[in-house]
Amino acid sequence: MDQRSISTAPSLKVSIKVGPNAPKIGYKSPSVVTVNLGQSVQLSCTATGDPTPRILWISPRQEVIPASSNKFQIMEDGSLVLKKVTLADEGKYACVARNSVGDDVKNMEIEVEPQEPYINEKKWKSSLKVLGVSYQTVLLDCKVEGKPEPRVWWVSPYGVSLTVPYRGGRFTVHQNGSLELRGARKTDEGKYMCKAQNPLGEASLLVELQVASIDGKEMLLECTARGKPNPELSWVLPNGTILLPGVRLQPPADKGVYRCIARNVAGQAGKQYALEAGRKPVIRGSTGRVFLGEEGKENAKMSRI
């Protein structure tokens, strides 16, 4: 048997680097993204290039969007996340991929779906108690969202309508819907109604204003809760501190929102008070009118001395 020798020639590999290359964004066809008010939305933008391109986003106001903020977040893959979309966020956004060779652009548009009005990020009728101090300024918030843009107005305890914008005497209704009352008096106490309306529906916020003097008298924030089993009550102070029944604490400041929360195995409910100004309150217990279940009742109070 003949034996034949087989020789293997040495191999040679050649690596060829092509570039640099200008950025190229995939899926560049213009697109419209629809989103509901208050929801978050993500705009995608992927790009290739050498050197690796940097992604920039331009807002409808022709401003460079920061990498991270309360409103925006640019992800590692270059996509842009908008948080809690409002009507002001509508418009055309541009994704710009850029490196030392050049750049490429992709345009996208955000469009908000038509929606009935809602107030202070709540899509149901709500109420609030505000405590002001005599001869100081009180601000009643009424942030309205909806599409088409709702008509907003306030109704005073005496039935007087104050439209947006409004300025007269001690009252001002700002463009953002908030009602400003300067030099609050006891005679200003009562129920103020903020109303919003567009072709799709309406919403309202009932604000009960109480005006207290700073002469050292008690200011009580009352809260009753009932449920079965009996709910456990707690206070959340403006600085986030949770105060349980039986605990005595001197808050560092009085201004802010005080929340009373009632909990049992069936769930939880709550009530909040917005204290505009005054002397430091003394917490005696837990308080708000909240309901859980059908039976049981517990009372407590918070006072300012």
CATH code of the domain in which 264 resides: 2.60.40
Is residue 11 included in any domain, yes or no? no
- Residue 236 confidence (pLDDT): 83
How many structural domains comprise the chain? Answer: 3
d(CA 25, CA 23): 7
Q: Say whether both 185 and 139 belong to one domain.
A: yes
Q: Say whether both 254 and 234 belong to one domain.
A: yes
Q: Measuring CA to CA, which residue among 179, 99, 181 is closest to residue 138?
A: 181
Residues 6+ apart with CB under 8 A from 122: none
Last residue of a domain, one of 212, 232, 257: 212
Q: Say whether both 160 and 233 belong to one domain.
A: no
Percentage helix, strand, coil, to 5, in the chain? 0, 50, 50
Per the document, the length of the chain is 305
Q: Say whether both 282 and 249 belong to one domain.
A: yes
Helix (H/G/I), strand (E/B), else coil: 89: helix
The CATH number of whichever domain residue 86 belongs to comes to 2.60.40.10
Is residue 86 included in any domain, yes or no? yes
Name 58's bridge partners. Answer: 64, 94
d(CA 83, CA 100): 32
Is residue 10 included in any domain, yes or no? no
In tens digits, the chain (305 residues) has pLDDT values of: 555 555 555 666 766 666 689 999 988 766 899 999 989 999 999 999 999 999 999 999 999 999 888 899 999 999 999 999 999 999 999 999 999 999 999 999 999 999 999 898 766 657 888 888 888 889 999 999 999 999 999 999 999 999 998 988 899 999 989 999 998 988 999 999 999 999 999 999 999 999 887 655 555 666 777 888 888 888 887 777 877 665 555 555 566 777 888 888 888 887 777 665 554 444 333 333 333 333 333 333 333 32
Q: Say whether both 63 and 121 belong to one domain.
A: no
Contact predicate 36/112, CB 8 Å = yes
Is residue 17 included in any domain, yes or no? no
Is residue 102 included in any domain, yes or no? yes
Q: Say whether both 106 and 123 belong to one domain.
A: no
pTM of the model: 0.57
Q: Say whether both 107 and 121 belong to one domain.
A: no
Residues 18-70 have pLDDT tens digits of 668 999 998 876 689 999 998 999 999 999 999 999 999 999 999 999 988 88
* Rounded (10°) CA dihedral 31, 35, 40, 46: -10
Residue 72 sits at the vertex; the CA angle it makes with 69 and 78, to the nearest 5 degrees, is 115
Q: Say whether both 293 and 244 belong to one domain.
A: yes
- Residue 292 confidence (pLDDT): 36
Burial of 171 (0-12, 13-18, 19+ CB in 10 A): middle
Q: Say whether both 151 and 169 belong to one domain.
A: yes
- Residue 285 confidence (pLDDT): 39
- Residue 121 confidence (pLDDT): 75
Name 196's bridge partners. Answer: 152, 203
Q: Say whether both 107 and 122 belong to one domain.
A: no
- Residue 286 confidence (pLDDT): 39
Domain that holds residue 94: 23-112
Q: Say whether both 155 and 102 belong to one domain.
A: no
Is residue 30 included in any domain, yes or no? yes
Last residue of a domain, one of 152, 187, 212: 212
* Rounded (10°) CA dihedral 125, 126, 132, 138: -40
- Residue 276 confidence (pLDDT): 56
Last residue of a domain, one of 156, 185, 212: 212
Is residue 240 included in any domain, yes or no? yes
Q: Say whether both 289 and 233 belong to one domain.
A: yes
Contact predicate 264/229, CB 8 Å = yes
Is residue 186 included in any domain, yes or no? yes
